[in-house]
Structure 1
Amino acid sequence: MTFHAVGEHRIETDGPLRLVVVGAGGMGRAWTGAIGANDDAELVGIADLAPAAAESAAEATGIAGLAVGSDAVELARRTGADAIVNATIPEAHHPVTMAALLAGLPVLGEKPVAASVAEGLSLAAAAEHTGQLFMVSQSRRYHRYLHEAKRRLDPLGTIGIVSVDFFQSPHFGGFRDEMASPLLLDMAIHQFDMARFLLDADPVSVSCEEYNPAWSWYDGDAAAAAVFAMEGGARFTFNGSWCSPGFETSWNGAWRISAERGTVLWDGEGEPTAAPDEATTPADDPGLGIAGSLREFIAAVRHGTEPMGRVHANVMSLAMVEAATQSASQGRRVVIDDVLDRSYHAALATERNAEVLAVMKAWPSVRDALNQRSDSE
């Protein structure tokens, strides 16, 4: 249960893992709460480009004298932090994480891994170069009953169809209402990533259509249907809307997984059901949401265990999003390897760190690089 390809450096200090949170917005504050609730973690600072925001978030924690600053690496050094939690906006994920990795700090980052697959590849190479763990918190993987659904598939043979319906009607206001593809870009990555988890497989291609119902309050397309061909021949279908009031699904979606000897249903919240239902050992509880992500990150940097969200394993979930949006805009099937190849060449063209660039140039292929696995897998 140890990984060796990347993330070789372990943290062996005594006491709780000392963490700096970068980003003082809503997600940053959610992370400060999760850290405060975990006895194995200690919040030692909050960094934000806006000093007032950092000070306000620090005050809200109730921790007297909590350090704040505008530079995450400087604050981590000043406070003796062991790692950082990157809760900034997606456009800041790459520069903040890159600076931390190059400074010798492991990173637990909010999804998506970066603003683009190209930036995600850069960060995967940086993690290899530095030997530091970069783990992406794909928080909806951390649900007891998602893992239970996967366990109940074990006796049912080869999986052929994974489908999810996602129907919600949130009135966010702000930037989401103005995005070109709000559902695909801001939400669907969760279901795409959960499908990869259930199948233990990566995508091959996608056909996707976006549209906007007449009553939608979003400027961009708030509904989409996508069919992914997955490794091994299975199909994953996503059917979703962010403007569908009434009989709404869970935020995790409503799932149906069909295998050669039966089917598993999961409503996204309660215990899944299987037909036939063969008794097996219950699945381990991974924790819930970002609390589960934090717990796994701590175990990974302390003991070298392989986390679900290691950057190399996570980039493909963002590739699914980019491929789906390209398919919708171009009106054709998009091959995932084409997205990876274009992203790879874009990453090579824009990488500023010579040593990180050398790592990427040494990859035999993007898929080979991303498919690094622990010795136990």
Structure 2
Amino acid sequence: MPEPLRLLQVGAGGMGRAWLRTIDENPDVVLVGLIDLDLQLARTAADEHGYAEVPVAASVGELAEATEADAVIDVTVPVAHPKVSIDALLRGLPVLCEKPLAETVRECLSMVAAAEASGKLLMVSQSRRYFRTGNAFSRQLAELGPLGSLSCEFFKAPRFGGFRARMAEPLLIDMAIHQFDLARKLIGAEPVSVYCESYNPEWSWFDGNAAANAIFTFDGGTRFSFTGSWCAPGLETSWNGHWRAGGSGGTAIWDGDTAPQAELSSGSALPAAVGDEPEQIAGSLTEFVRAVREGVVPQSEVHANVVSVAMVEAAVRSAATGSQVLIADVLADAYAEAIATERDGALRAVLESWPSVQKVVGLRT
């Protein structure tokens, strides 16, 4: 048995505590340090989760060498992801970063450059990729032949308060990346363009647009439609949404929680094969450990994950302009901005070495 991976976790808030529990339940990892700008918060979180002997600090640099850490889990707020993850990468530490990778595609590209400059893995925890019933749905879709359409309906009525209540596009920016990213996995292709409208019902308790409709065209012609609202009380969907896929060989549906259902064009049912693999962030952590140990490329490796963030940015741009937006255009604009604003000479050199930003992140050109 290999020695457990020695982890530093950055972030001790609500999501950080969920990660502390997940780390404790995985025998392949061990927490060796907890980092947060609020040292008292970090100490309290560590103590309450059985890590009384684990040191706390305000930065990765204070603990990286002293603890002989092998990797970093970045569970900070999104605005801090670039700084924390890039610092860890340039210290030679692989990073598993909570979603979204960053607030802008421009920042994401600098994070890609840091991963390339350091030669270390940067993976994003897209937890919706690790639901057992969702994986069963994905396997059913593979049996349906080419997909013509995929749809997701998402209707919830959370009253978060805080920063979400004040965002201009809370649904698209804070939530929809889950469904947009999962659509890429389910379709097995990359997005080309999007037309999106966002709005705010008159009864909404959000300041910004809490509802949206988006239609993505994917490479190969598949359409993915997303209809959602964060101010939809009554008959709410799962947090994963309600999904339907139509292919040349039949149709499959998934309610976001339970086993999916599928019917072939012959009229016969296609059973769901639900596995017992780790779910949600436990699934992310398991895949990260394997990737670090074996050098395999995981789901949501940083290069590919940039496309999911670009889908969100493209949808927001489309809603603002009232026109269809190309994903490639969003990437091109972000790339130009990244080169113009990147202050680290080594990272800027990596950015400038790319022959095509679209190719770097896996899009066709």
TM-score normalised by the chain length of structure 1: 0.93
From 278, 286, 293, the equivalent of 1:287 is 278
Q: What does the per-residue CA deviation read over 1:290-310, in whole Å, with 9 as the maximum and x for residues that have no partner? A: 000000000000111221010
Could you tell me how far 1:279 is from its partner in structure 2?
5.6
TM-aligned CA deviation for residue 343 of structure 1: 0.3
Q: Which has the higher contact order (CA 8 A, sep 6+)?
A: 1
1:268 to 253, 256, 259: 256
Q: Distance in 2 between matches of 1:91 and 1:75?
A: 22
> Are the counterparts in 1 of residues 259 and 274 from structure 2 also a CA contact under 8 Å?
no
Aligned to 1:190: 178
Counterpart Cα distance in 2 of 1:247 and 1:110 = 30
Contact 1:163 1:255 in 2 (8 A): yes
Inter-partner Cα distance in structure 2 for 1:147 and 1:62: 33
Q: Does structure 1 retain, via aligned residues, the 8 Å contact 2:259–2:272?
A: no
Change (3 A) 1:307 1:285: farther
2:148 paired residue number: 160
Match of 2:51 in 1: 63
Tell me, what secondary structure is at the counterpart of 1:238? Answer: strand
* RMSD, matched Cα: 1.5
Structure 2 gap ranges (5+) = none
| Partner AA of 2:194 in structure 1 | V
Q: CA deviation at 1:281?
A: 9.4
Which position in structure 2 is the counterpart of 1:298? 289
- Using the TM superposition, name which of 295-304 and 56-65 deviates more: 56-65
Partner residue of 1:142? 130
Deviates more, 1:58-67 or 1:272-281: 272-281
Q: Partners in 2 of 1:200 and 1:359 — Cα distance?
A: 29
Number of corresponding residues: 360
**Could you state the TM-score of these two structures normalised by the residue count of structure 2?**
0.95
Give runs of ≥4 in structure 1 deviating > 4 Å: 277-281, 283-286
Between the aligned partners of 2:191 and 2:296, the Cα distance in structure 1 is 25
Q: Which aligned pairs between 1:20-169 and structure 2 lie closer than 5 A?
A: 20-169=8-157
Distance in 2, Cα, partners of 1:125 & 1:286: 32
Aligned to 2:200: 212
Q: In structure 2, what is the equivalent of residue 309 of structure 1?
A: 300
1:326 deviates by: 0.7
Q: Tell me the residue number matched to 1:201.
A: 189
Asked if the contact 2:136–2:272 (Cα under 8 Å) also holds between the matched residues in 1, the reply is no
Letter aligned with residue 316 of structure 2: T
Residue of structure 2 aligned with 1:336, choices 313, 327, 330: 327
How far apart, in 2, do the equivalents of 1:153 and 1:95 lie? 38
In structure 1, C-alpha distance between the alignment counterparts of 2:288 and 2:12, rounded to whole Å: 21
What amino acid is the match of 1:314? N
| CA distance, structure 1, for counterparts of residue 303 and residue 61 of structure 2 | 23
Q: Which amino acid aligns with 2:220?
A: G
Instruction: Kindly provide the amino acid, as one letter, of the partner of residue 119 in structure 1.
Output: E
Which amino acid in structure 2 is aligned with residue 317 of structure 1? S
Task: Give CA-to-partner distance per residue, 1:187-224, whole Å, 9 cap, x none.
Answer: 00000001000011111111100111111111111000
CA contact (8 A) 2:43 2:56 kept: yes
Query: What does residue 336 of structure 2 align with?
Result: 345
Shift of 1:66: 1.2
Identity of aligned residues (%): 53
- Letter paired with 1:166: F
- Whether the 8 Å contact between 2:154 and 2:242 is mirrored in structure 1 is yes
SS of 2:66's equivalent?
Answer: helix
